[in-house]
Structure 1
Amino acid sequence: MSELQINTTQNVKIKFKAAGAGERLLAFIIDLAIKIGYLVVVANVFDAFKNMDQWSQIGINTILSLPVMFYTFALESFLQGQTLGKRALKIQVVKIDGYQASISDYAVRWFFRIVDIYVFGLGFFVMMFNKKTQRLGDMAAGTAVIALKDKVTINHTILEDLKEDYRPTYPNVIKLSDNDARIIKDTFTVARASRDYQTLIKLRKKLVEVVDIKEVKQKTDIEFIDAILKDYNYYTQDM
């Protein structure tokens, strides 16, 4: 399993383990089994419409086939880069530049499946000889698939240890996504440990702008960013 380095928007390098070609193939097989199972059920349902005219049958068949056709695109879009197969194997699609993958990125990956999968399984062979185990769709979308199996502690996640009587300061933090919070915490942790005050200043300014904060109530950048992370956890812990 190769190491994947992602450069965040704050120019901080975060290291992940790229999902292996075998893991991705197994996830694909699980997804394929789910789609085949669905088609078997649909085939039995479709028997009820066999006495309808040809055009009606074509229309119904097309509608019932849509979930299979858009399975990967839809699930990756709604499950933040995972299908049921990827979730079972604990792997996930991410952007190489540190941003959260967008619907357009998932659409590009989905479109390139025509080449990666249906042209002699070309994507699998491309992954075999690619350091980041990217298929053609990943290269086109600027994405990669990472493994989520690494043992982590609370310090390696977006979670913060909140006291029972904690009172948040900035409700606007709900504008952030989990991926935003992860990038913020990773950047904050590295910058604080290395005493990179310039990065802390830039991060504080960016947060004030993105979260739309009118007044910073903490005395230092470190206290402010720490409050942002704690507030995010406070407002999203029950979501």
Structure 2
Amino acid sequence: MQTIDTLYSINTPEGVALRLMPAGPVLRFYAWLIDTCIRGAVMVGLAIALAYLDELGDGIFLILVFLIEWLYPVYFELFHNGKTPGKSMMGLFVAQENASPITPASSLIRNLLRFVDFLPFAYGFGLVCMLSNNRFQRIGDIVAGTVVLHVEAIQPLTEQDNIIAEVPPRPLQLDEQQAIINFYQRRATLSEERAEELAKVAGSLVENKTSAADYLSGMGRWIMGKR
């Protein structure tokens, strides 16, 4: 379930509802920059260490550069809970879209497709793709079914026990009841400001109410029989 604040919630196989927050391009750029600096430092160290081997050293160096460039992120994503050093420093990690750990196939796919995201230069396609969808997925993420998430934003959605059931002020049509129930179920994934904004769309149903969001949620609770 996607929200207006780019948060979305999923239900785990264990029946736990989680709220997830995809990471935007700015933090992901910083994470990428840190990882690039780390890879660069390792490559410089290898070049110095292998310089004395002449042509043999050049060949070994090129092989190691290839492996570092393409397998560095795969290794950390699979064996360090989806976190490269850069992502770890930024409080981010890679997971499947349902928040389960990233699989070997998905990690390989999202990283091999980095060359497509990089086109025409400086991750141009990847940036346009990220800004075109609510989960900030680049092309590699979409194909692999992965998403980069904020670690601290993963939290269970709790039942809204503090909401008092409210009897609707008038008989409601079926579509109105469904819309109100949907709002009540989504309420926990919205900020207070967004919840108020959306609740006021109900017009006369919430007119002159101190908290339109609480009142509309109360109606949703009443309609669902939670009285």
Instruction: Give the TM-score of the pair, scaled to structure 1.
Output: 0.57
> Aligned equivalents of 2:45 and 2:103: distance in 1?
32
Contact 1:75 1:81 in 2 (8 A): yes
> Aligned equivalents of 1:6 and 1:108: distance in 2?
23
**Shift in Å at residue 95 of structure 1?**
1.3
1:48 aligns with 2:52: yes
> Aligned equivalents of 2:74 and 2:99: distance in 1?
20
**Shift in Å at residue 41 of structure 1?**
1.1
1:16 aligns with 2:20: yes
1:24-43, aligned counterparts within 5 Å? 24-43=28-47
Contact 2:6 2:21 in 1 (8 A): yes
> Aligned equivalents of 1:80 and 1:119: distance in 2?
31
Counterpart residue type for residue 110 of structure 1: N
> Aligned equivalents of 1:7 and 1:95: distance in 2?
13
**Shift in Å at residue 37 of structure 1?**
0.9
Aligned Cα root-mean-square deviation (Å): 2.4
Q: Which residue of 2 aligns with 1:61?
A: 61
Contact 2:70 2:111 in 1 (8 A): no
**Shift in Å at residue 74 of structure 1?**
1.0
**Shift in Å at residue 88 of structure 1?**
0.4
**Shift in Å at residue 73 of structure 1?**
0.9
Counterpart residue type for residue 74 of structure 2: F
- Helix, strand or coil: the match of 2:152? coil
Q: Which residue of 2 aligns with 1:116?
A: 117
Counterpart residue type for residue 19 of structure 1: A
Q: 1:124 to 1:7 in 2, by over 3 A?
A: farther
Q: Which residue of 2 aligns with 1:144?
A: 147
1:106-145 C-alpha deviation (Å, 9 max, x unpaired): 1111111111125421112211221100011111111111
Of 116, 128, 131, the match for 1:128: 131
1:96 aligns with 2:93: no
Contact 2:50 2:58 in 1 (8 A): no
Counterpart residue type for residue 144 of structure 1: V
Question: Could you tell which deviates more after superposition, 113-122 or 132-141?
Answer: 113-122
**Shift in Å at residue 12 of structure 1?**
5.3
> Aligned equivalents of 2:11 and 2:128: distance in 1?
26
1:54-88 C-alpha deviation (Å, 9 max, x unpaired): 4x345312343222331111111111211000000
- Helix, strand or coil: the match of 2:46? helix
> Aligned equivalents of 1:104 and 1:74: distance in 2?
12
> Aligned equivalents of 1:101 and 1:80: distance in 2?
8
Q: Which residue of 1 aligns with 2:185?
A: none
Give 1 or 2 for the bigger CA radius of gyration. 2
Aligned residues: 152
> Aligned equivalents of 1:12 and 1:69: distance in 2?
35
Q: Which residue of 2 aligns with 1:2?
A: 6
Contact 2:93 2:148 in 1 (8 A): yes
- Helix, strand or coil: the match of 1:70? helix
Percent sequence identity is 28
Instruction: Give the TM-score of the pair, scaled to structure 2.
Output: 0.59
